[in-house]
């Protein structure tokens, strides 16, 4: 893990009204968001994302973002410092799924 991808000691979660406050940053893949104060680079412009937009945004660190967004979507948004979450530390679980396709019109 490089210094660029290393998760921070903790992430500071801030809300402004109905939105999550994040820093807008850029890398080779394009724009992404980070929790304020979690990156070693100079401070970046801050933006506020509503839940609907934050759910589809690239937020780093990803494991921590997933935990914050899950709690927020369930009505209990965390405030203040949140410890980093490493999804690779969780044992994978096999999930089987199926689908039923219902055609509403002539078949091709």
Q: Which two tokens stand for residue 55?
A: 């759910």
Model confidence pTM above 0.75: no
Q: What is the pLDDT of residues 44-88, one digit of tens each?
A: 899 999 999 999 999 988 888 988 999 999 998 888 888 777 777
The pLDDT score that the predictor gives to residue 91 is 84
Cα 62 to Cα 55: distance, rounded to the nearest angstrom: 11
The pLDDT score that the predictor gives to residue 1 is 44
Beta-sheet strands, E only, within 1-108: 11-13, 15-16, 19-27, 30-34, 46-50, 59-60, 80-82
Contact by Cβ (8 Å): 55, 69: yes
């Amino acid at each position: 893990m490089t210094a660029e991808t290393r998760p921070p000691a903790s992430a500071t979660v801030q809300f402004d009204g109905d939105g999550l406050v994040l820093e807008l940053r850029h890398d080779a893949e394009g724009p992404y968001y980070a929790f304020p104060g979690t990156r070693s680079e100079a401070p970046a412009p801050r933006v506020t994302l509503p839940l609907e937009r934050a759910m589809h945004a690239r937020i780093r660190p990803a494991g921590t973002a997933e935990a914050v967004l899950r709690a927020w979507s369930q009505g209990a948004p965390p405030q203040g410092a949140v410890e980093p979450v490493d999804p690779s530390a969780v044992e994978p679980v096999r999930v089987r799924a199926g689908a039923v396709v219902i055609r509403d019109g002539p078949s091709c």
